[in-house]
Amino acid sequence: MQKFLETMEKFIPAIQGEFDQYQKANFPERTPQFFCLELNGEAGELANLEKKLWKGRDINTDLLDDEAADVFIALMNYANSRGINLGKAVASKLEWIDGKMKELKKAGKEY
Between the alpha carbon of residue 25 and those of residues 13, 19, 28, 77, the distances in Å are 18, 10, 8, 13
pLDDT digits (tens, 9 = 90+) for 92-108: 999 999 999 999 999 99
* Per-domain boundaries in the chain: 2-106
pLDDT digits (tens, 9 = 90+) for 24-62: 999 999 999 999 999 999 999 999 999 999 999 999 999
Q: How far apart are CA 37 and CA 33, in angstroms?
A: 6
Tell whether domain 2-106 is in CATH 1.10.287.
Answer: yes
pTM beyond 0.95: the answer is no
